[in-house]
């Protein structure tokens, strides 16, 4: 009977030792006929959890952006790449490490080929996307990029003399499948017994999968009994007989031999003659025995003829001594039964608790601010944003500056992982900076702002009460500021500048008094292709005018020089779209503002 013992603990020890090893000395092996200017990396072969892995991945770096553009539409083709650098290889299966033949390639000098050796003992079974991060120098400027290499780590399989297991190393719980390595192939004579170590047993040749719900190490014991070899007559021993030669000592010792007949009385065996036999007499043979009764005849070879000494009958189950008067015989029937015993281990590691997140700050904030996310584990962490591992972010806290979905994965020393909750972070953009111009003491926006933007004017860091429009009439020199606030997000932008007050162009004179003094008339209103402006001036002068959109953006401008008396001027408005407009006329007494409607 053979006994085989399988120790997964030895594999675990080898795994730990291999995990400490580095991965030097990869060999470059590229396909024949590979283009010079191309982006190529060989596939990563599959691995098996808790089995040492060592593979070389060969690659060729591109010499221009053309190969990159074929996979990244945002990259313009045809630009030369002077240098490529490998900055990081991340998201390797836990337990594996990497080392490259070199990290920097002067692709402009035809230095493009290299390799990476990946080695170690993977601790987790899953599909992984190894992230390879590179930096390309294009026209003197570094440009980061990344691509992924898939790798699959299969579940552990423990091979023994009698059976194999799949999925026998897992976290939290394990569902293990069993493969009988000594199959009956439908033949009789095979029996099996399984003790799965979880309280369940089975006598099936191929038992169903077993579930192990609690952490621990379970021993699976297996026994296969093979009863297919049949029955064999291996020895006949004659202990007594009354046959003799002439009854004259010592010549009276018989010369014995035996004959064996099958159940159909066919003679199937005749032994050699044992001359002058001293009892007991032994006859060794290896004769297959089927069902039914067999006969052994004992004979004495005489000088003349033979003497019959007797016979006995036997079958497959005969034991003990057989008699025929003075004849006594023992037979030995061998029935070989093979028993294979084997055992293996199922290891279920403790499933770690999911990392708990806490944060300092709001998860929705404005550009320039930040959020600090923290985890309740101190080691074994990897932070992710939008399913991509964040390079170097393995500490208990992470500072976030941009939008995305964030979470952290904790991996225990056993290689078991747990994911935290997902936190969605939204970083709102700041409003466009509200830059303004000064025209004759009027501050007005240089560009249009979005409709959700609210405004507040400031003078020397003090808010000017009620000044929330897109223009401001200043009455003195100083630093003026404008705060733009997005009413939907609360994000703000601020612009300030020193403004010089022009006392010759006051903008705070009453519009009504200016109209009365000059007897202004603007027509028609609504207008179409032109505007007529009429006034009466007691003296000659020169005025500036501008036609603005209602939001303050200037469309037309000009100057009028005139003598004293009645005046009439025309402004061509052909091509302007329908809508509200503002006509601004600057006079020595102030600024006249008029709202006008273009109807067609």
263-276 pLDDT, tens per residue?
999 999 999 898 88
- 258, 329: one domain: yes
The answer to whether residue 505 is domain-embedded is: no
- 368, 409: one domain: yes
Give exposure, 525-562, as e/b (b: 16+ Cβ within 10 Å): eebeeebebebebeeeeebbbbbbeebbeeeeeeeeeb
The answer to whether residue 83 is domain-embedded is: yes
The H or E element containing residue 597 is strand 590-598
Identify whether 526 is preceded by a cis peptide bond (ω within 30 of 0).
yes
The answer to whether residue 397 is domain-embedded is: yes
Confidence of residue 235 (pLDDT cuts 50, 70, 90): confident
For residues 296 and 140, which has the higher predicted lDDT (pLDDT)?
296
Average pLDDT, the chain: 87
pLDDT at site 508: 65
The answer to whether residue 516 is domain-embedded is: yes
Distance CA(241)–CA(428), nearest Å, equals: 113
Number of domains in the chain: 6
Q: Residue 280 belongs to a domain with what CATH number?
A: 2.60.40.150
- 518, 475: one domain: no
388-396 average pLDDT score: 94
- 57, 147: one domain: yes
| pLDDT tens digits along 414-435 | 999 999 999 999 999 999 999 9
- 10, 99: one domain: yes
Domain boundary among 472, 499, 526: 499
Confidence of residue 59 (pLDDT cuts 50, 70, 90): very high
- Among 18-22, 160-164, 243-247, 418-422, whose mean pLDDT is lowest? 18-22
379: containing domain: 352-426
The answer to whether residue 506 is domain-embedded is: no
Q: What is the DSSP letter of 396?
A: S
- 25, 146: one domain: yes
Q: Residue 516 belongs to a domain with what CATH number?
A: 2.60.40.3080
The answer to whether residue 35 is domain-embedded is: yes
**Coil, strand or helix at 87:** strand
pLDDT at site 123: 66
- Among 131-145, 478-492, 497-511, whose mean pLDDT is lowest? 497-511
The segment with the largest mean pLDDT, out of 19-23, 70-74, 95-99, 362-366, is: 362-366
- 9, 147: one domain: yes
In whole angstroms, what separates CA 323 from the centre of its chain? 80
Given a cut of 60, is residue 5 above it in pLDDT? no
Q: What is the DSSP letter of 4?
A: -
The answer to whether residue 235 is domain-embedded is: yes
The contacts of residue 410 (CB under 8 Å, 6+ apart) are: 352, 354, 355, 375, 377, 380, 381, 417, 418, 420
pLDDT at site 124: 65
- 146, 174: one domain: no
- 23, 132: one domain: yes
- 124, 242: one domain: no
Whole-Å CA distances, 294 to 214, 331, 387: 59, 12, 79
Task: Give the CA angle between residues 83, 88, 90 to the nearest 5°.
Answer: 150
Q: Residue 132 belongs to a domain with what CATH number?
A: 2.60.40.2310
Confidence of residue 31 (pLDDT cuts 50, 70, 90): very high
The segment with the largest mean pLDDT, out of 210-219, 463-472, 544-553, is: 210-219
- Among 112-116, 301-305, 344-348, 557-561, whose mean pLDDT is lowest? 301-305
Given a cut of 70, is residue 197 above it in pLDDT? yes
The answer to whether residue 39 is domain-embedded is: yes
């Amino acid at each position: 009977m053979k006994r085989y013992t399988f120790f997964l603990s030895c594999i675990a020890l080898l795994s730990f030792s291999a995990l400490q090893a580095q991965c030097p000395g990869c060999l470059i092996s590229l396909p024949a006929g590979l283009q010079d200017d191309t982006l190529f990396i060989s596939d990563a072969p599959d691995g098996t959890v808790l089995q040492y892995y060592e593979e070389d991945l060969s690659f060729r770096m591109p010499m221009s952006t053309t190969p990159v553009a074929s996979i990244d539409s945002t990259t313009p083709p045809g630009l030369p790449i002077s240098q490529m650098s490998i900055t990081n290889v991340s998201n390797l299966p836990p337990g594996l490490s990497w080392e490259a033949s070199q990290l920097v390639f002067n692709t402009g000098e035809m230095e493009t080929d290299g390799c990476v050796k990946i080695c170690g003992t993977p601790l987790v079974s899953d599909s992984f996307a190894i992230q390879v991060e590179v930096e390309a120098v294009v026209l003197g400027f570094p440009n980061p990029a990344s691509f992924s290499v898939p790798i699959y780590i299969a579940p552990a399989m423990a091979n023994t003399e009698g059976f194999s297991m799949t999925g026998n190393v897992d976290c939290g719980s394990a569902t293990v499948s069993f493969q009988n390595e000594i199959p009956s192939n439908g033949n009789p004579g095979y029996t099996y017994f399984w003790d799965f170590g979880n309280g369940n047993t089975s006598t099936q040749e191929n038992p169903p999968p077993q579930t192990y719900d609690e952490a621990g190490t379970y021993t699976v014991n297996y026994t296969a009994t093979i009863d297919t070899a049949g029955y064999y007559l291996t020895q006949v021993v004659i202990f007594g007989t009354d046959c003799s030669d002439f009854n004259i000592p010592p010549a009276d010792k018989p010369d014995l031999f035996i004959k064996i007949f099958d159940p159909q009385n066919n003679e199937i065996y005749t032994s050699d003659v044992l001359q002058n036999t001293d009892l007991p007499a032994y006859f060794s043979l290896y004769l297959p025995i089927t069902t039914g009764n067999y006969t052994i005849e004992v004979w004495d070879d005489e000088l003349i003829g033979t003497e019959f000494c007797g016979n006995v009958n036997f079958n497959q189950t005969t034991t003990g001594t057989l008699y025929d008067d003075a004849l006594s015989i023992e037979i030995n029937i061998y029935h070989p039964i093979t028993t294979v015993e084997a055992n293996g281990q199922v290891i279920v590691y403790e499933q770690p608790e999911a990392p708990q997140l806490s944060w300092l700050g709001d998860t929705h904030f404005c550009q320039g601010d930040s959020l600090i996310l923290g985890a309740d584990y101190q080691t074994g962490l990897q932070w992710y944003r939008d399913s991509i591992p964040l390079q170097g972010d393995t500490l208990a806290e992470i500072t976030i500056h941009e939008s995305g979905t964030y979470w952290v994965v904790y991996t225990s020393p056993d290689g078991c992982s747990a994911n935290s909750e997902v936190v969605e972070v939204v970083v709102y953009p700041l409003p466009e900076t509200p830059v303004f111009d000064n025209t004759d003491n009027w501050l007005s926006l240089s560009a249009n702002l979005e409709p959700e933007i609210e405004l507040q004017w400031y003078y020397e860091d003090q808010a000017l009460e009620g000044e929330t429009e897109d223009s401001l009439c200043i009455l003195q020199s100083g630093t003026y500021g404008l705060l733009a606030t997005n009413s939907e997000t609360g994000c703000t932008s601020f612009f300030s500048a020193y403004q010089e007050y022009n006392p010759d162009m006051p903008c705070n004179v009453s519009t009504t008094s200016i109209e009365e003094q000059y007897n202004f008339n603007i027509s028609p209103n609504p207008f179409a292709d032109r505007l007529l402006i009429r006034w009466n001036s007691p003296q000659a002068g020169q005025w500036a005018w501008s036609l603005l959109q209602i939001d303050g953006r200037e469309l037309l401008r000009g100057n009028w020089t005139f003598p004293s008396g009645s005046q009439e001027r025309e402004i061509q408005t052909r091509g302007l779209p329908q809508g509200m407009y503002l006509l601004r006329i600057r006079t020595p007494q102030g600024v006249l503002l008029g709202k006008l409607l273009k109807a067609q």
